[in-house]
Amino acid sequence: MRIAVLVSGTGSNLQALLDAQAAGALAPAEVACVLSNRPGVPALERAARAGVPALVVDHTRFAGDRAGFERACLDELAHHQVAAVVLAGFMRVLTPLFIDAFPGGVINTHPSLLPAFPGADAPAQAIAHGVKVSGCTIHFVDARVDSGPIIFQAPVAVRDDDDAASLHRRIQVEEHRLLPQATALLAAGRLHRDGRRVRVS
Ligand code: GRF
């Protein structure tokens, strides 16, 4: 199954997917292209180094026109015959116009144990709230922010001396492990949605 990875920045989760692919652990998923909404980000260099087409649709060219931005993304991805999408640090909200275009689904990784701390800066939210455990969530994307059916979660203990950055680094270790696994299972047709529940066969 040909998948697109959508990114906005550093791309460490993209790197985990590319490394899994190189190790033969992403099949039957194949990273067909990488699309960023921001030009010049390190994630694009990671794609280029791996020989994967790196596309840019700069959202600032579509001020206030979310549908126009999404249609431009869909046009780019259509050239690469993509059946499913993985959001890996993609910092734009997507609507059903985009989400419903992919029969294989759209999945995301989020650095908290949802439904706690949706939205931006989840590790900072967790520190500010004083929770003792946070973690990551791999989930299907639906019409609301960080709300879709949950595929995998992993807990990460919060240490007394953690700040948002140190907590986020340990959460990302879990994301890098689980996002490639979820992507391979998605492509293999082994993720079954039943309402909010996701079963792995
Ligand atoms: C990840 O922690 C992801 O959960 C969040 O943004 C971060 C992106 O990191 N949405 P990277 O670009 O994959 O390094």
For 28-65, what is each residue's pLDDT tens digit?
999 999 999 999 999 999 999 999 999 999 999 999 89
* Probe residue for ligand 1, chosen from 13, 36, 139, 171 as the CB with the greatest number of ligand atoms within 8 Å: 13
Question: Ligand 1 pocket by C-beta < 6 Å: which residues?
Answer: 9-13, 88-89, 109-111, 172, 175
Which letter does DSSP use for residue 81 in this model?
Answer: T
- pLDDT tens for 133-157 read 999 999 999 999 999 999 999 999 9
Is 129 a known active-site residue? no
Question: From CA 55, how far away is CA 36, in angstroms rounded?
Answer: 6
Contact in structure between 180 and 3 (CB atoms under 8 Å): no
**Of 167, 80, 70, 86, the residue nearest 126 (C-alpha):** 167
Q: Which residues contact 45 (CB under 8 A, 6 or more apart)?
A: none
For the cut 90, the answer to whether the pLDDT of residue 99 exceeds it is yes
For the cut 90, the answer to whether the pLDDT of residue 91 exceeds it is yes
| Ligand 1, atom nearest to 12 Cα | 14
| Ligand 1, atom nearest to 111 Cα | 4
Query: According to the model, what pLDDT value does residue 9 have?
Result: 97
**Which pTM does this prediction carry?**
0.97
- pLDDT tens for 173-194 read 999 999 999 999 999 999 999 9
Compute, in angstroms, the gap from residue 29 CA to the centroid of ligand 1: 20
Catalytic pick among 59, 79, 80, 110: 110
